[in-house]
Homo-oligomer: A and B are copies of this chain.
Amino acid sequence: MTNFSSMAKALRSSEIRRLMSLAADPSIISFAGGMPNNSLFPIDIVDKIWLNLPESQKQIAFQYGPTSGYPPLLAALTNYLQSRGIPTTDGSLIITTGAQQAISLLSRVMLDEGDHVVTEYPSFIGALAAFSSCGAILDQIPLDEEGIEVEALKKHLDAANHMPKMIYLNTHFHNPKGITYSAARKEEVLSLLENRSILVLEDDPYSELYFNEKDKVATIPMAATNDGRTPLCYVGSFAKILGPGMRLGWLFGPKEIVEKCELAKQSADACSSTLTQVIAAEFLMQGKLPPYLSPLRKIYSRRAQLMLTALSKHMPKEVSWTTPRGGFYVWATLPEHINATDVFTIALSRGAAFVVGSAFDPAGIRNNCFRLAFSHTAEEKIEKGIAIIAEAVKEVLAKL
């Protein structure tokens, strides 16, 4: 049975969901949702793809497909993964109903009640919920600007009574912290994990969204350089490069693990939407991804810059924040004694919102941080929203 008490704790449903629903009011300048802006989807491209599809392929789109995925999409994705340096002949690939399902299937396949999973602090709430729903115990290791703190990880593994079954890493343009693992750090982590039989789950949904071409090299996944040192599953998503409404992600990893996930998927939802898989396959095969991403990267880069400039201009000196080189997020840190929910409450009453840090704490406690997503907010509103939040921070600071 699903471990609801753990999962509900991880989702902090009563509290976080309440705060998120407040932030959904369209009159609010919201930096809460980790999603693309509605105006940025490749609707015209997809319209053309659909219109030009032969009838026989539309019929396939309406039909059941193989549980592992629509074969032309698997083929196109294999090419894509190879272009990212991943040795695809060394493992198996399946399509999943969003990256969330890949994480969920892997959790169900790997984790028993009471198993330990190492996560970063802070970490992605959806993954924390999936691990917790299987009754896993979450051991958190802090992140610095270059990735998970290797010394702390080593100390943890050397001292652990319960060796973790899995370690969950979000390597590029981190959600929520906005940082990117350095090449050196990736290497240190892989060396440390060598021969320990701990499964690495590398979750990489944002890697295509680098702001500058020179940072493309920073997005070489651990899956490309692991070279068999440790079992590793690589999870990706079409949510940020086509649209979350497609509900398409993927899982690449060791054959024996991915085959179990495929079996679990068979009873979970039989297959992912063939209709959206046909669209995604054409999107890749017709070479639509690079010309779509090129302007998109500039747009996100500009939004990030606007947010960083606004933070510098408005935030009091007690607040620090990360400087992302891609993705959707800035992570802001308040003095330790400040509760981000107090800031949230004031900011919301004046028309701006974000997600409080406790949502990303595997233990659900630490709350002197918050996540700002710049991906979803119109450029002209970013500074105004940040100014509101900065005023709220100042008020909370003044009260103490």
Contacts and interface: CB of A to CB of B under 8 A. Distances in A.
A239 B62 CA distance: 9
B60 A108 contact: no
B245 A61 contact: yes
B260 A273 contact: no
Contacts of A111: 1
B13 A104 contact: no
Interface string A54-87: 0110111111110000000000000000000000
B268 A101 contact: yes
B58 A43 contact: yes
Which secondary structure dominates where chain A touches chain B? helix
A304 B33 CA distance: 51
Interface stretch (A2-10, A333-341, A344-352): A2-10
B268 A268 contact: yes
Oligomer copy total: 2
Interface stretch (A126-134, A203-211, A220-228, A287-295): A126-134
Given A50-B50, A247-B97, A269-B247, A109 B263 contact: no
A62 B1 CA distance: 33
A165 to B, nearest CB: 10
Given A108-B1, A276-B276, A41 B13 contact: no
A100 B110 CA distance: 22
Interface string A150-194: 000000000000000000000000000000000000000000000
Given A2-B109, A43-B55, A100-B270, A275 B246 contact: yes
Nearest to A42: B62
Contacts of A4: 109, 260, 263
